[in-house]
Amino acid sequence: MIRYCSLSIQRSVRTFMTSSTQSQVAKLCIVGGGPAAFYTAQHIIKTFPECEIDILERLPVPFGLVRFGVAPDHPEVKNVINTFTKTAKSPQVRFAGNVNFGIDLSLQELKEAYHAVILTYGAEEDKTFGIPGENLKNIISAREFVGWYNGLPRDKDLNVDLSDENVVILGQGNVAVDAARMLLSPLDELRKTDITEHALATLADSKVKTVYLVGRRGPMQVAFTIKELREMINLKDCSSIFEKEHFQGIPELIPNLVRPRKRLTELLVKSALETNPKPSSKTFRPLFLRSPLSFTGDSKVTGVEFDLNTLQGEEFEHQTAISTGVKESIKSGLVLRSIGYRSVCADPGIPFDKQKGRVINTKGRVDHGVYSAGWLSTGPVGVILSTMSNAFETGANVVDDIRQDIINLNEKKPGLRAILSKLDARGVQTVSFDGWEKIDQEETKRGKALGKPREKIVNIGEMLQIAESGKKLTAKG
């Protein structure tokens, strides 16, 4: 069965090989199957069509954070999947899911099989505070929380307790706001999305009334973008309440700001100084100038102890938070930590900056024949446009290096065939793009029965089973 699946991918290798000049085909491998991978591939096949690009993804399903990160109530953002699918179906590209880089295959093995390896496996590890009580129950990383409602297999069994009225989210970026919106949105709005049924069931019993979004600095340093703020302000049956005292002097700064900070600050000030909050049953409360000192509770978290800060420094971009020595407690039965991610070093052969949690690279160039793109390259910042342009840049540099013979195409490389036989020998069942499309159809079917666009399958074994079902040999993997 395992062998069978890989054969269908192999066959597509041969089909393509016969139609091109064998010695001059660039055999490239992309590790990771998210937006950075597809945008890099898109750019390379356009500018250097004489290539074979194999995308190896750890999960059986493609699209990375577009599937598992983008909030379920932002379906429009997922339209990029249409372009990615087009790329996946182009004759030069093959997708192989369920391949765990660093475990099933090493970087050295990929370097031997390909002319170049492009690492795009993202940033999956959460940053932590390292303060007392951080291991209490119901202190959860926002990344896990997002994975839980978005059907990421490894987070499917996360135990989220929504029995308390108060939630503290630590961090003021877009992930933090997404988590807040999921907790504060009317359930009927979420039912129409592809949010997982297990999350929906838990949210249906939620007692949450107030979500605090806490940052260590002030309103001038928030990291979320204006669209996310506007959504919170316009959310049904939820009012946004700000601490007015933290906005002193800020309206005067606005004329000298530039976009996007200017418009974001205008909207913040306007909302903060709003005198008539709408009547609502839920409240969104951004809090500023607070750093967590410890978490309280016996086994489950019951509150957060904060140090109140003041800002030091002239230019607001570089202001730092320093403690005033004044303390404050906020009661909360759930804490979500959303202070950023770091990448993991998936293979000891990767030049890696442990401090910054990303691959050491210059414009996507890592080492001879090794490249990187996306969050692994830049750190976990920016919207899809940032990842797109970063991936295009890496793609352009790969093609430049091919054209300048820095990547030598005369060197014989076995490509996917060698990799698949290794995976076969190691008992790894790979999933082709056809296999993903079967999973996709099944998810859409299950979603339809529930009145949703899709019900995600969260069990890897089940995904593999569906991908294999009714398998027929196809020319294109």
Q: Using the rule CB under 8 A, which residue among 26, 183, 388, 407 binds another protein?
A: 388
Site string for another protein, 101-140 (x = CB under 8 A): ----------------------------------------
In the complex, the smallest distance separating the C-beta of residue 364 from another protein, rounded to whole angstroms, is 8
Binding residues for another protein, rule CB under 8 A, total 35
In the complex, the smallest distance separating the C-beta of residue 312 from another protein, rounded to whole angstroms, is 23
- Beta strand 303-312 with 320-331 is antiparallel
Tell me: is residue 65 an annotated ligand-binding position: yes
CB of 140 within 8 A of CB of 126? no
Tell me: is residue 173 an annotated ligand-binding position: yes
Tell me: is residue 25 an annotated ligand-binding position: no
Pairwise CA distance, residues 392 & 389, whole Å: 5
The stretches of 250-328 forming alpha helices (DSSP H) are 261-272
230 binds another protein, rule: CB under 8 A:
yes
244 binds another protein, rule: CB under 8 A:
no
Q: Using the rule CB under 8 A, which residue among 136, 200, 396, 418 binds another protein?
A: 396
Q: Is 196 helix (H, G, I), strand (E, B) or coil?
A: coil
CB of 301 within 8 A of CB of 138? yes
Nearest CA to 231 out of 263, 267, 207 is that of 267
Q: Using the rule CB under 8 A, which residue among 386, 441, 459, 469 binds another protein?
A: 386
Q: Using the rule CB under 8 A, which residue among 46, 270, 278, 426 binds another protein?
A: 46
Q: Specify the stretch interacting with another protein by CB under 8 A; choose among 141-149, 247-255, 380-388, 433-441.
A: 380-388
First-to-last alpha carbon distance for the chain, in angstroms, is 15
Tell me: is residue 175 an annotated ligand-binding position: yes
Tell me: is residue 451 an annotated ligand-binding position: no
77 binds another protein, rule: CB under 8 A:
yes
382 binds another protein, rule: CB under 8 A:
yes
Q: Using the rule CB under 8 A, which residue among 158, 384, 409, 418 binds another protein?
A: 384
Nearest CA to 257 out of 249, 246, 266 is that of 266
Tell me: is residue 390 an annotated ligand-binding position: no
CA angle, 250 as apex, 247 and 254 as ends, to 5°? 145
Pairwise CA distance, residues 195 & 233, whole Å: 22
Q: Using the rule CB under 8 A, which residue among 265, 390, 429, 432 binds another protein?
A: 390
CB of 39 within 8 A of CB of 391? yes
Structure tokens at 450: 């529930």
192 binds another protein, rule: CB under 8 A:
no
Structure tokens at 238: 């939820």
Q: Specify the stretch interacting with another protein by CB under 8 A; choose among 207-215, 224-232, 298-306, 421-429.
A: 224-232
| 199 phi, psi to nearest 5 deg | -70, -40
Between 416-425 and 2-18, two packed helices, what is the crossing angle to 10 degrees? 170
3-state SS, 401-424, equals HHHCCCCCCCCCCCCHHHHHHHHH
Please list the residues that pair with 300 across neighbouring strands: 137
- Beta strand 26-31 with 139-141 is unpaired
In the complex, the smallest distance separating the C-beta of residue 35 from another protein, rounded to whole angstroms, is 9
Q: Specify the stretch interacting with another protein by CB under 8 A; choose among 69-77, 159-167, 278-286, 464-472.
A: 69-77
Q: Specify the stretch interacting with another protein by CB under 8 A; choose among 9-17, 102-110, 345-353, 388-396.
A: 388-396
223 binds another protein, rule: CB under 8 A:
no
DSSP 277: P
Residue 87: other Cβ atoms inside 10 A: 22
Annotated binding site for NADP(+): 172-175, 216-217, 228, 382
Annotated binding site for FAD: 36, 57, 65, 375, 382-384
**Site residues, another protein (CB under 8 A):** 39, 42-43, 46, 74, 76-77, 79-80, 82-83, 225-227, 230, 259-260, 263-264, 363-364, 378-379, 381-386, 388-390, 392-393, 396
